[in-house]
């Protein structure tokens, strides 16, 4: 039975695909057999990214497949150690299906109230629909240069009662450039960025372990 991690939000552009690829590559680097279930059929972001990864012969390899249904993805997951769902925006039903199927559900969000408010609203909705609250974790992605803004964003999440993952992804051109080459956010050309983003990866691995599966 594969570990299942979902990355979802109702908004586009918050970093779902970036985070899904980051998780997939880092588990794959530890010899896990990893599949990304690309649920955003309109964009196919991870699917196109993986084509670039293959073309550029970047290791470790991860498998990416597009799915219409969560159940179909879970079935193929039998051959994998980890399935990472890259969710589609504006898709309440599918978000709930992913949440149901996951061991750990990550909601990436920017640090502005424009991003934070709908993120916490989604977490509340998932809880209302019976999703076990501790498996919902919030990740701060696309953070800017302001420590004050970041601290306020962290406080906003903490006061909501949901688990805030340690570590943060800052907005960096190098992360976009890495993605253009089929790399993830810990595979940029800058060691300092990779190490910083790795803190979030470790927090995700720890949280997944805490929730009971290895």
Ligand X SMILES: Nc1ncnc2c1ncn2[C@@H]1O[C@H](COP(=O)(O)OP(=O)(O)O)[C@@H](O)[C@H]1O
Shortest Cβ distance from residue 23 to ligand X (Å)? 12
Answer whether the bond into residue 60 is a cis peptide, omega within 30°: yes
- What residue number has its CB nearest to Mg ion? 17
Options 6, 10, 14, 16; binder of Mg ion; rule CB under 5 A: 16
Q: Which region, judged by CB under 5 A, interacts with Mg ion, from 37-45, 74-82, 106-114, 202-210?
A: 37-45
**x/- contact string, 1-40, with ligand X (CB under 6 A)?**
-----------xxxxxxx----------------------
Nearest to 59 by CA among 26, 85, 36, 19: 26
Per the listing, tokens 């890259």 go with 86
The residue (of 16 and 142) whose beta carbon lies closer to Mg ion is 16
Task: Give the pair of three-digit tokens for residue 61.
Answer: 């390899």
Q: Which region, judged by CB under 6 A, interacts with ligand X, from 52-60, 98-106, 145-153, 168-176?
A: 168-176
Residue 171 interacts, among Mg ion, ligand X, none and using kind-specific CB cut-offs from 5 to 8 Å, with ligand X
Determine the length of the chain. Answer: 214
Q: Which of residues 36-55 bind ligand X (CB under 6 A)?
A: 45
User: Residue 17, interface with Mg ion (CB under 5 A)?
Assistant: yes
User: Residue 142, interface with ligand X (CB under 6 A)?
Assistant: yes
Task: Give the pair of three-digit tokens for residue 188.
Answer: 């940029």
Q: Is there a contact between 138 and 157 (Cβ–Cβ < 8 Å)?
A: yes
The residue (of 13 and 212) whose beta carbon lies closer to ligand X is 13
Q: Which region, judged by CB under 6 A, interacts with ligand X, from 93-101, 131-139, 145-153, 164-172?
A: 164-172
The residue (of 183 and 211) whose beta carbon lies closer to Mg ion is 183
The residue (of 106 and 157) whose beta carbon lies closer to ligand X is 106
117 to 9, 120, 175: CA distances (angstroms): 12, 5, 25
Shortest Cβ distance from residue 211 to Mg ion (Å)? 24
Binding site for ligand X (CB under 6 A): 12-18, 45, 141-142, 169, 171-172, 175-176, 179
């Amino acid at each position: 039975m594969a570990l299942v991690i979902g990355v979802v939000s109702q908004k586009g552009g918050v970093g779902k695909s970036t985070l899904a690829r980051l998780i997939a590559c880092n588990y794959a680097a530890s010899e896990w057999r990893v599949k990304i279930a690309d649920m955003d059929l309109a964009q196919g972001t991870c699917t196109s990214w993986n084509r670039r990864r293959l073309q550029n012969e970047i290791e470790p390899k991860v498998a990416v497949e597009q799915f219409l249904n969560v159940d179909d993805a879970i079935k193929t997951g039998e051959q994998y150690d980890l399935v990472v769902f890259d969710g589609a925006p504006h898709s309440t039903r599918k978000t709930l299906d992913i949440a149901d199927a996951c061991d750990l559900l990550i909601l990436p969000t920017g640090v502005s109230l424009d991003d934070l408010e709908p993120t916490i609203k989604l977490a509340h909705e998932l809880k209302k629909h019976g999703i076990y609250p501790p498996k919902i974790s919030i990740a701060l992605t696309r953070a800017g240069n302001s420590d004050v803004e970041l601290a306020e964003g962290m406080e906003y999440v903490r006061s909501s009662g949901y688990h805030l993952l340690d570590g943060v992804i800052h907005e960096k051109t190098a992360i976009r450039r890495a993605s253009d080459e089929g790399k993830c956010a810990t595979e940029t050309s800058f060691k300092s960025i990779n190490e910083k983003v790795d803190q979030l990866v470790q927090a995700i691995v720890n949280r997944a372990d805490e929730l009971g599966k290895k």
